[in-house]
C-alpha cells in the first residue's frame, strides 16, 4: 500500500486530493490518499468578506471536507513536525495525550501562508484582527456588532466615536472587499439605534501605494475602486502604512493615531513556519519547485499553492505563480497527474498558466473585474462576479445554499445576531504606545499586569509617584482587596504588557503559595511607601 500524504486543507491541498481521487480511481486498493487539515471544512475564501457583511449565512462559504473527498482519509489535526529523512509527519493529540505519526511515500506540502507581524514595531499581532479564515470572519462580524451595541449605550462622545471607528490595513483584494463589507454592515446596523449619529461612524482604509489593488488590477480599475469606496464614505489614506496598534488606537506611519476598537490587518503574509524547519531549497520562505511542482532535488516531495515557489511557465523560470486561489486550483491537476506518473507510469506534465482575470466585490451590488483583458466595473461586474464564483465553488449543495442566501438577502433583512463563545480565560498580550493610559484611578480592578518590555508611570492626583520597569507588575492591589484602582497607570514610551484576568490571578494565588507571599510582600511595601508620601506632604 503506497501512501500519498497531503498537508493543508486550502485550495492547493483540497483540489490536489480531488484530482488524485479521480486519477487514481482504479488503484484504491493499492494507493491511499491522506489529507491533513486543521478544520473539517474547506473555506471558499473569495466569499469570506460576504460572511462579515451578512449577505450569505455563516456556513455558506464553507463545505465539509468529507463531502468533497469520499475516498480520502482525512485527519483533522495540527501538524507538529515533518521529518523528510524518515518520511513521517507528526500530528497533535486530540482527546488524548498521544501524538499520531503517519508515514508517506509522497508528500504534498500545501500549507499556505500565515500572517507575519514581525516587521511591525508592535501591537498588530496583539490588537489587529486577522482576516484569513472563517473564524476570523465570524470574529470580525461579532466585533462590529459588539462595538455598535456598546456605542449605543455609551454616554461619553469621544469613547462612542472610538467604538464607531474601523481601520483596515492593506488595499489589496481582501482589504478592499472587507472594508466595503464593514462599511455596509456598520452603516446599516447603526440605523436601528436612535442613540447613534451616523456622522460619528468612520471607516478608514490604509494603503501603502497611491492606488488601490495596484498589484492585481489595471490602473483605471484601481482608481475606480478608490473613487467608489470614497463615495460610500470610506476614508482612504494612500501612501501610508498601518504600522502598529494599541487596545485603543490604530497607529499609521508611527505618527497618526486613530482611536478605534476595530483594527483589521490584511497585509503581510509569509509561508507557514513549518516550512522554515525543512531542509529544502527555499526562496522568500517558500519551497522552490520545478515546473512539475516537485521540490528541487527531491523525488518524494511536492508543493502547491501559497507556500510553493512555482514558475508561471517553464519558459519563464524566474517569474513565479502569484499566491492566489486561481493558480493553486490550476496547479492541483498537474500535481495529481505527476504523482500518478511517479507511482505508476506515464509522462509528467509541466505547469504553465496565464491568469484568466481578476475580480473584487465592493459591497452594495458593485464590483470590479478584469477578465481576459476586458475591464468591467459597477453592477455588471458584480453580476459577473457572483455568476463566476457560483460556478467555481465546489459541491452542488454549497452552490445551492449560496444562491438561496443571495436570493433571500434581497427579500428579508439579515439579522445581526452576535455569536459569542464562552468567555476566554488566560493571558492577554497587550501593546501600548507612549502616553497611553492602561487604567485610570477609580476603574474596576479586572486584571493583573506584568511589564514585559518598556516602562509605565504610576500617577496619583496628577502627580507621577513612581516608574515601574520590565519584570515588575502592577494592578494586584485592587485584585487582592476587590477595590477600585487607586492610581492611574500610563505607558512611558512604547511597551509590551501581559494581562492576567482576575479569575486566573485568584487561581494562581490559591495554588502557588510562594507567589502569594510575593504579592503580599509587594502590597505591604507599596502601602508603606504611599503612607510615607502622605506624611512627607
According to CB under 8 A, which residues from 175 to 204 bind a second copy?
192-193, 195
Pick between residue 136 and residue 370 the one whose CB is nearest to a second copy: 136
CB of 57 to a second copy, least distance (A): 6
CB of 357 to a second copy, least distance (A): 30
Q: In what order do the strands lie in the sheet with 100-103?
A: 79-83, 88-91, 100-103
Q: Kindly tell me which residue out of 51, 74, 128, 178 binds a second copy, with binding defined by CB under 8 A.
A: 74
If you ran DSSP here, which 8-state letter would residue 44 be given?
Answer: -
- Residues 126 and 429 sit within 8 Å (Cβ to Cβ): yes
Question: Shortest CA distance to 356 belongs to which of 391, 306, 317, 308?
Answer: 391
DSSP structure string for 333-355? HHHHHHHHHHHS--PPP------
Region of 292-300, 375-383, 421-429, 524-532 interacting with a second copy (CB under 8 A):
421-429
- Residues 485 and 437 sit within 8 Å (Cβ to Cβ): no
Q: Kindly tell me which residue out of 279, 299, 345, 421 binds a second copy, with binding defined by CB under 8 A.
A: 421
Q: Does 25 bind a second copy (CB under 8 A)?
A: no
Return the sign of the alpha-carbon dihedral for residues 293, 20, 358, 242. negative
- Residues 110 and 305 sit within 8 Å (Cβ to Cβ): yes
Q: Does 135 bind a second copy (CB under 8 A)?
A: yes
CB of 436 to a second copy, least distance (A): 13
Q: Does 40 bind a second copy (CB under 8 A)?
A: yes
CB of 491 to a second copy, least distance (A): 15
Q: Does 277 bind a second copy (CB under 8 A)?
A: no
Residues from 238 through 257 that contact a second copy (CB under 8 A): none
Convert 44-57 to b/e letters by CB count within 10 Å (16 or more is b). bbbbbbbbbbbbbb
Pick between residue 38 and residue 257 the one whose CB is nearest to a second copy: 38
3-state secondary structure of 192: coil
CB of 80 to a second copy, least distance (A): 9
Give the count of residues interacting with a second copy (CB under 8 A). 81
Q: Does 103 bind a second copy (CB under 8 A)?
A: no
Helix (H) or strand (E) holding 188: helix 173-190
Region of 98-106, 279-287, 319-327, 339-347 interacting with a second copy (CB under 8 A):
98-106
CB of 397 to a second copy, least distance (A): 5
Q: What is the β-pairing status of strands 301-303 and 308-309?
A: unpaired
Sorted by sequence, the CB contacts under 8 Å of residue 227 that are 6+ apart come out as none
Q: Kindly tell me which residue out of 278, 343, 388, 408 binds a second copy, with binding defined by CB under 8 A.
A: 408
Residues from 342 through 401 that contact a second copy (CB under 8 A): 397-398, 400-401
Pick between residue 418 and residue 529 the one whose CB is nearest to a second copy: 418
- Residues 209 and 238 sit within 8 Å (Cβ to Cβ): yes
Pick between residue 227 and residue 483 the one whose CB is nearest to a second copy: 483
Pick between residue 54 and residue 323 the one whose CB is nearest to a second copy: 54
Query: Residue 321 is placed in which grid cell?
Result: 505563480
CB of 251 to a second copy, least distance (A): 18
Residues from 283 through 312 that contact a second copy (CB under 8 A): none
Q: Does 420 bind a second copy (CB under 8 A)?
A: yes
Residues from 46 through 65 that contact a second copy (CB under 8 A): 57-59, 62-64
Region of 147-155, 249-257, 323-331, 353-361 interacting with a second copy (CB under 8 A):
147-155
* Radius of gyration in angstroms for the set of CA atoms belonging to the chain, rounded to a whole number: 26
Query: Residue 425 is placed in which grid cell?
Result: 480565560
**Backbone dihedral region for residue 76 (phi beyond 0: left; psi -120 to 50: alpha; all else: beta):** beta
Pick between residue 4 and residue 280 the one whose CB is nearest to a second copy: 4
Q: Does 147 bind a second copy (CB under 8 A)?
A: yes
Nearest 5°: CA angle at 392, between 389 and 397?
95
> Cα–Cα distance between 27 and 32 in angstroms, integer?
9
Region of 39-47, 105-113, 164-172, 278-286 interacting with a second copy (CB under 8 A):
39-47
Region of 279-287, 342-350, 457-465, 506-514 interacting with a second copy (CB under 8 A):
506-514
Q: Does 474 bind a second copy (CB under 8 A)?
A: no
- Residues 491 and 461 sit within 8 Å (Cβ to Cβ): no
Burial class (CB in 10 A: 0-12, 13-18, 19+), 219: exposed
CB of 453 to a second copy, least distance (A): 12
> Cα–Cα distance between 186 and 372 in angstroms, integer?
35
Q: Does 524 bind a second copy (CB under 8 A)?
A: no
Pick between residue 384 and residue 403 the one whose CB is nearest to a second copy: 403
Q: Kindly tell me which residue out of 215, 227, 425, 464 binds a second copy, with binding defined by CB under 8 A.
A: 425
Region of 150-158, 232-240, 270-278, 346-354 interacting with a second copy (CB under 8 A):
150-158
Helix (H) or strand (E) holding 390: helix 379-392
Per-residue CA distances from 53 to 177, 364, 413, 416 (Å)? 10, 10, 12, 10
CB of 177 to a second copy, least distance (A): 22
Pick between residue 404 and residue 527 the one whose CB is nearest to a second copy: 404
Q: Does 75 bind a second copy (CB under 8 A)?
A: yes
Question: Shortest CA distance to 377 belongs to which of 247, 231, 217?
Answer: 217
> Cα–Cα distance between 393 and 47 in angstroms, integer?
9
Q: Does 29 bind a second copy (CB under 8 A)?
A: no
Q: What is the 3-state secondary structure (H, E, C) of 79-90?
A: EEEEECCCCEEE
x-or-dash string of contact with a second copy, 434-473, rule CB under 8 A: -----xx--xx-x---x-x------------------x-x
Q: Does 98 bind a second copy (CB under 8 A)?
A: yes
> Cα–Cα distance between 89 and 81 in angstroms, integer?
6
Amino acid at each position: 500500500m503506497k501512501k500519498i500524504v497531503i498537508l493543508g486543507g486550502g485550495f492547493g491541498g483540497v483540489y490536489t486530493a480531488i484530482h488524485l481521487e479521480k486519477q487514481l480511481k482504479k488503484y484504491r486498493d493499492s494507493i491511499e490518499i491522506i489529507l491533513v487539515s486543521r478544520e473539517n471544512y474547506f473555506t471558499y475564501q473569495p466569499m469570506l468578506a460576504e460572511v462579515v457583511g451578512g449577505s450569505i449565512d455563516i456556513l455558506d462559504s464553507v463545505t465539509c471536507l468529507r463531502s468533497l473527498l469520499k475516498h480520502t482519509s482525512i485527519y483533522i489535526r495540527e501538524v507538529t513536525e515533518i521529518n523528510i529523512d524518515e518520511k513521517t509527519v507528526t500530528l497533535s493529540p486530540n482527546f488524548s495525550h498521544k501524538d499520531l505519526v503517519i508515514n508517506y511515500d509522497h508528500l504534498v506540502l500545501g500549507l499556505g501562508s500565515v500572517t507575519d507581524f514581525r516587521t511591525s514595531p508592535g501591537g498588530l499581532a496583539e490588537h489587529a484582527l486577522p482576516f484569513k479564515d472563517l473564524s476570523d470572519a465570524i470574529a470580525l462580524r461579532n466585533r462590529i456588532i459588539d462595538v455598535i451595541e456598546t456605542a449605543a449605550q455609551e454616554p461619553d462622545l469621544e469613547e462612542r466615536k472610538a467604538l464607531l471607528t474601523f481601520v483596515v490595513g492593506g488595499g489589496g483584494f481582501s482589504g478592499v472587499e472587507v472594508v466595503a463589507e464593514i462599511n455596509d454592515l456598520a452603516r446599516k446596523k447603526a440605523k436601528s439605534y436612535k442613540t447613534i449619529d451616523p456622522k460619528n461612524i468612520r471607516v478608514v482604509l490604509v494603503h501603502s501605494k497611491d492606488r488601490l489593488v495596484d498589484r492585481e488590477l489595471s490602473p483605471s480599475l484601481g482608481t475606480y475602486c478608490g473613487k467608489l469606496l470614497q463615495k460610500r464614505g470610506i476614508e482612504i489614506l494612500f501612501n501610508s502604512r498601518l504600522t502598529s496598534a494599541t487596545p485603543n488606537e490604530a497607529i499609521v506611519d508611527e505618527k497618526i493615531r486613530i482611536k478605534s476598537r476595530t483594527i483589521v490587518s490584511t497585509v503581510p503574509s509569509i509561508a507557514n513556519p513549518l516550512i522554515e524547519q525543512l531542509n529544502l531549497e527555499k526562496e522568500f520562505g517558500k519551497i522552490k519547485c520545478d515546473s512539475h511542482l516537485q521540490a528541487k532535488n527531491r523525488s518524494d516531495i511536492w508543493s502547491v499553492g501559497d507556500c510553493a515557489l512555482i514558475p508561471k511557465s517553464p519558459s519563464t523560470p524566474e517569474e513565479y505563480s502569484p499566491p492566489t486561489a486561481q493558480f493553486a486550483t490550476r496547479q492541483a491537476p498537474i500535481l495529481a497527474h505527476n504523482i500518478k506518473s511517479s507511482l505508476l507510469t506515464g509522462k509528467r506534465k509541466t505547469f504553465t498558466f496565464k491568469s484568466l482575470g481578476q475580480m473584487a466585490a465592493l459591497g452594495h451590488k458593485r464590483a470590479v473585474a478584469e477578465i481576459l483583458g476586458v475591464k468591467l466595473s459597477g453592477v455588471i461586474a458584480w453580476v459577473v462576479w457572483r455568476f463566476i464564483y457560483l460556478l467555481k465553488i465546489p459541491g452542488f449543495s454549497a452552490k445551492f445554499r449560496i444562491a438561496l442566501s443571495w436570493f433571500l438577502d434581497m427579500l428579508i433583512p439579515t439579522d445581526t445576531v452576535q455569536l459569542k463563545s464562552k468567555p476566554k480565560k488566560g493571558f492577554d498580550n497587550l501593546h501600548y504606545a507612549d502616553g497611553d493610559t492602561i487604567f485610570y484611578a477609580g476603574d474596576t480592578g479586572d486584571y493583573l499586569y506584568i511589564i514585559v518590555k518598556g516602562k509605565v508611570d504610576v500617577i496619583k492626583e496628577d502627580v507621577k509617584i513612581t516608574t515601574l520597569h520590565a519584570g515588575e507588575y502592577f494592578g494586584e492591589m485592587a485584585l487582592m482587596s476587590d477595590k477600585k484602582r487607586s492610581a492611574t497607570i500610563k505607558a512611558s514610551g512604547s511597551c509590551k504588557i501581559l494581562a492576567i484576568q482576575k479569575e486566573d490571578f485568584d487561581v494562581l494565588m490559591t495554588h502557588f503559595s510562594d507567589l502569594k507571599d510575593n504579592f503580599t510582600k509587594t502590597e505591604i511595601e507599596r502601602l508603606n511607601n504611599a503612607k510615607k508620601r502622605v506624611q512627607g506632604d
